[in-house]
Chain A
Amino acid sequence: MAIRVSTTIADGAALVADIERRSGERVSACYQCGRCTSTCAAAFAFDYPPHRIMRLLQLGQVDKVLNSRTAQLCFDCMTCSSRCPMTIDVANVIEQVKMIADEHGIRVNKEKSIRLFRRAFLKNVRRHGRLHEARLLTWINLRSFKPFNDLAVVPLILRRKKVHIVPPKIRNRREIHRIFHEVNGNGGGNGNSDRHGGGK
């Protein structure tokens, strides 16, 4: 595989140090037993399984890690962390990689649907203070051009009254808006992680 050198990432060693500082973990402690990978529910969909992410970080090949699908796909179930014989919080390391990738505006195109999901979810919460599941599903299906995704279960869900037709709203939505405004610093817009053009 060709090595992609990203222009935004100057110094691999400095970034590894940053990942270690943010996560509070030492990547050098990993001795490649592979237990994290063997317990990972999503490893089959990753380009680099968890133990290889650790190895790449040890070697300072941060650009590969930051551009990996793994960083986008890991959903932080923390199974790897609970099984590591060196008690490395592997999920936390990958989490920090994901954050740094976001900060560098790195977009792994194949995993667009996950960003779409996260953004749609938060947009929903920002507006109403609670999640409206039906709207989330509809919005994601339309935006990802898969309008019939999960359609088969819709009548079953409706029959069991498992869905709100009208979005649930809280009364003090102002407070929610203030929270989004505070963490975001720009009036509840799309925020840092969406600043770099995530399909608007």
Chain B
Amino acid sequence: MSAYSYFPGCSLTSSAGEYDTSFRLVAGTLGIGLDEINDWNCCGASPAPHHWGGNLGVMLPARNLHIAGYGHEAMVAPCAGCYNRHKNAQHELAASAELREQTSRILREPLRYQIEILNLVELFDREISPEALAERAQGRLEGLNLATYYGCLLTRPAKIMNFDNARNPVSMKPLLRATGAQSDHFPFKSECCGSYMGLAKKEIVLRAGRRIIEVAKDLGFDAIITACPLCHQNLDLRQSQINKTYGISLEMPILYFSQVLGLALGLSADDLGIDAHMVSARKLLAKISGSAVDPASPAKSGDATEPTATLSGIGEAS
């Protein structure tokens, strides 16, 4: 099996570093090869397509598609925004010879753009079957109820993304259940988190985030699972702001899909970067069967003997 071309994107190199770490670790554990795209650039995210007639939003991703196309059949973009932008760009390039020619001129080479683009859920779905995962996970995550949260960019617009069902996506569920965890229906799974309005128009994000987290909490979920760094930022980083603004106390851990798979495979919470989140996942980790950790006593280096739930570094202590 040849390796996948890997596009980390800007978030995964900074604010969502733990998404990158956990993804690489889990991919390595499963024997999935990743070649980072050489000298990749920002996909332009949401601002690029709104400018200059939209072509900036095509050409920035086009350069990455072109580089990724050297010797690879498929590329993976774990960030839902990057995934969305690259697929959109590919769609527009396929439709316009003029755009292809224009881009080729900039790159000074005939453009390659037809590489298959996968998101992280798609990649894992392809690389490991629920049965195989269940065998390796041995029910490690039993006792947890995990809310699957897809947000917008993985599935919409449906005609272009062509992934899962835009109204009722279900693709995370088989693998999550294979970990031994329960994953009930989460009705807010495709609601918007407020997107990039966090900096410019914070009240939109806080309001959207509150609705999503509150519903998850009312339904008794232990954590919300996402595959998007922006969703994560809006639900995790801004959760303290939500609490403060509305005078509530949510404390809902938000985990990346890759981190949950990592926990199921017996990787340590430390290595998976779970302590990099703002909302502590200590209670959740303590719930995992086989964990010898007492939730009341935080971070001690001596805890490191238990692979599924080493707690050193979690919380504010370190």
Contacts and interface: CB of A to CB of B under 8 A. Distances in A.
Interface of A: 39, 41-42, 44-45, 73, 75-79, 81-83, 89, 92, 95, 98-99, 102, 111, 113-114, 116-119, 121-122, 125, 129-131, 133-134, 136-137, 140, 144, 149-150, 152-153, 156-157, 160-164, 168, 170-172, 175-176, 178-180, 182-184, 191-193
Give the top 9 A-B pairs by smallest Cβ distance, nearest first: A77-B192, A118-B47, A131-B10, A78-B156, A113-B200, A41-B192, A117-B200, A75-B195, A77-B152
13 contacts: A41-B207, A42-B204, A45-B203, A79-B191, A81-B157, A99-B54, A102-B50, A125-B60, A153-B237, A170-B40, A175-B41, A183-B55, A193-B51
B51 A162 contact: no
B208 interface: yes
A137 B102 CA distance: 33
Given A45-B204, A156-B278, A183 B52 contact: yes
Interface residues of B, number: 60
Interface in B17-48: 17, 39-42, 44-48
B171 interface: no
B14 A133 contact: yes
B10 A82 contact: no
A164 B10 CA distance: 11
B17 A140 contact: no
Given A82-B167, A82-B190, A179-B106, A130 B42 contact: yes
Contact of B52 (A75, A156, A184): A184
Interface in B130-154: 151-152
Contact of A179 (B50, B63, B197, B203): B63
A129 B42 contact: yes
Contacts, number: 176
Interface of B: 10-11, 13-17, 39-42, 44-48, 50-56, 59-60, 63, 102, 105-107, 151-152, 155-158, 166-167, 190-197, 199-204, 207-208, 237, 240-241, 275-276, 278
A98 B68 CA distance: 33
Contact of A122 (B16, B51, B59, B107): B51
A125 B42 contact: yes
A157 B197 CA distance: 19
Nearest to B60: A179
A136 B45 CA distance: 14
A79 to B, nearest CB: 5
Nearest to B157: A78
Contacts of B240: 152-153
Residue among A78, A119, A137, A184 with most chain B CB within 10 A:
A78
Contacts of A83: 167
Nearest to A81: B157
A193 B156 contact: no
A84 B191 CA distance: 15
Contacts of A76: 46, 195
Given A83-B167, A157-B15, A191-B51, 18 more contacts: A45-B203, A76-B46, A78-B156, A82-B166, A82-B190, A89-B157, A92-B157, A114-B201, A130-B42, A133-B14, A133-B15, A150-B199, A163-B14, A170-B39, A175-B41, A183-B59, A184-B52, A184-B56
